[in-house]
Structure 1
């Protein structure tokens, strides 16, 4: 099923057992922010991106290395070299995604990001070293920025796909098929939002972080929160602006977010995460957040 009908989607979702696959990844990879600077093409539809004067490439590299060290304590974390010709490559989850036995290459909206899909080293790692089959969506016409646009409940095989300039309906269908999901809900993001994973996170298949501010229709956000209740963390506008929605569970008991996001997290929401079985781990990523994304955007999961 792939639909815009929230009622039909959640009626189907409630019949599905959490047996689709592992709820959290077995490994992850990053791309170093070498040559990190403002990408003017991407800035056209990313309101979170800072002005060029606020970019600090050396600080971004230092923070990124700290992120890799922290993640490596939990699961194998590979880091590929960056490239000054692809200043947004620090956010590889938009370009590469994996599922059991396969990897998907997305179609990026902006030419500066389309270059990332051509990287032979990442393709050789996923296809050669891991022996995953390739599904290449990068040369077709419809934008589909993978797990930036599509938030996935890996336990149930559910996709929650936010439509914007970065992903249209056909792009959502292509991702749904490529990842072999059981059901996908398509919904419009609010004006000014570019990726669903800035306003929504599903944590290990049993909790969700939802920012109603990021949805064109607040009823969709409420329906998602209702589905994951009582483990639904609903963000305020201040938490939303601090990237608290751009979070990720790399294991069954920990949610990761940036230090800025964690500092903005309301104590009640932190308590709700604890009640759902998650401790919060945070990493300082202020320099990287100048690029318009945060911790979850930096992490390409390997399932």
Structure 2
């Protein structure tokens, strides 16, 4: 099922057992922020991005190394070299994603980002080292920026796809098929939002962080809340702006977000994470956030 009907989706999703696959990844990879700089093409539809003077390449590199070290405490975390000609490459989850035994390559909206999807080293790693088959969506015309646009409940096989200039309906359909999902809910993002994973995080299939202001359709918010209740945090505008919605579970009992996001969390949001048995793991990433993304954007999961 792939639908805009939030009620129909919720009815179907409630019948999906958490037996689709592992709720969290077995490993992850990052891409180093080599040549860290503002990409003007990406800035045209990413309101979170700082101006050029706000980019500190040295600090971004140090914080990125700290992120890899931190994540490595709970799962194997690789890091590929960056490419200065692809300044957004430190956010690889938009171009590369996996299901067990299969690599999916996305189609990026902006030409500067399409360079990432063409990387032979990353494709070769999955093909020749891990033996993964490849589903290549990068050559077709419909934008589909993978787990930036599509938030996935891996335990149940459910997708939540926010439509914007970074993902259209046909791109969403192709991702739904590439990931083999049971059901995907389509909804429009609010004006000014570029990726779903900035306004929604599904943590290990059992909790959700939701930024209601990032959705154009309140029915989608209600459906998500209904599916994950009582383990749902409705994030305030301040939490939203601090990237608290850009979080990930790198292991079943951990919730990872930037230190800035964690400091913005309300007492109610923290209580939800505690009640859902998640240990909050903040990582300093303010320099990286100048590029318009945060912790979850940096992490490409390997299933």
Which TM class, normalised by the smaller chain length? over 0.9
Gaps of at least 5 residues in structure 2 are none
Deviating 4+ runs (over 6 angstroms)? none
| Secondary structure of residue in 2 paired with 1:147 | helix
Q: How many Å separate the matches in 1 of 2:49 and 2:74?
A: 29
| Contact 2:233 2:268 (C-alpha < 8 Å) held by counterparts | no
Gaps of at least 5 residues in structure 1 are none
Q: How many Å separate the matches in 1 of 2:216 and 2:150?
A: 16
Following TM superposition, by how much is the alpha carbon of 1:270 offset from its aligned partner in structure 2, in angstroms? 0.3
Which residue number in structure 2 is paired with residue 17 of structure 1? 17
Which residue number in structure 2 is paired with residue 203 of structure 1? 203
Following TM superposition, by how much is the alpha carbon of 1:257 offset from its aligned partner in structure 2, in angstroms? 0.1
Which residue number in structure 1 is paired with residue 221 of structure 2? 221
Which residue number in structure 2 is paired with residue 85 of structure 1? 85
Following TM superposition, by how much is the alpha carbon of 1:225 offset from its aligned partner in structure 2, in angstroms? 1.0
| Contact 2:96 2:146 (C-alpha < 8 Å) held by counterparts | yes
Q: How many Å separate the matches in 1 of 2:208 and 2:127?
A: 31
How big is each residue's C-alpha offset from its partner over 1:53-85, in whole Å with a ceiling of 9 and x where there is no partner? 000001000000000000001000000000110
Q: How many Å separate the matches in 2 of 1:235 and 1:38?
A: 28
Which residue number in structure 2 is paired with residue 169 of structure 1? 169
Which residue number in structure 2 is paired with residue 49 of structure 1? 49
Which residue number in structure 2 is paired with residue 125 of structure 1? 125
Which residue number in structure 2 is paired with residue 95 of structure 1? 95
Is it true that 1:73 corresponds to 2:73 in the alignment?
yes
Q: How many Å separate the matches in 1 of 2:205 and 2:163?
A: 22
How big is each residue's C-alpha offset from its partner over 1:151-204, in whole Å with a ceiling of 9 and x where there is no partner? 000000000000000000000000000000001000000000000000000000
How big is each residue's C-alpha offset from its partner over 1:215-240, in whole Å with a ceiling of 9 and x where there is no partner? 00122112211210000011000000
| Contact 1:212 1:222 (C-alpha < 8 Å) held by counterparts | no
Following TM superposition, by how much is the alpha carbon of 1:128 offset from its aligned partner in structure 2, in angstroms? 1.2
Following TM superposition, by how much is the alpha carbon of 1:100 offset from its aligned partner in structure 2, in angstroms? 1.3
| Contact 1:90 1:298 (C-alpha < 8 Å) held by counterparts | yes
Q: How many Å separate the matches in 1 of 2:214 and 2:128?
A: 38
Following TM superposition, by how much is the alpha carbon of 1:43 offset from its aligned partner in structure 2, in angstroms? 0.3
Which residue number in structure 2 is paired with residue 275 of structure 1? 275
Q: How many Å separate the matches in 2 of 1:268 and 1:138?
A: 41
| Secondary structure of residue in 2 paired with 1:58 | helix
Aligned residues: 303
Following TM superposition, by how much is the alpha carbon of 1:129 offset from its aligned partner in structure 2, in angstroms? 0.7
Q: How many Å separate the matches in 2 of 1:267 and 1:124?
A: 45
Which residue number in structure 2 is paired with residue 113 of structure 1? 113
Q: CA RMSD in A?
A: 0.5
Q: How many Å separate the matches in 1 of 2:16 and 2:227?
A: 12
How big is each residue's C-alpha offset from its partner over 1:61-113, in whole Å with a ceiling of 9 and x where there is no partner? 00000000000010000000001100000000000000011010000000000
| Secondary structure of residue in 2 paired with 1:67 | helix
| Contact 2:210 2:232 (C-alpha < 8 Å) held by counterparts | yes
Which residue number in structure 1 is paired with residue 152 of structure 2? 152
Following TM superposition, by how much is the alpha carbon of 1:126 offset from its aligned partner in structure 2, in angstroms? 1.1
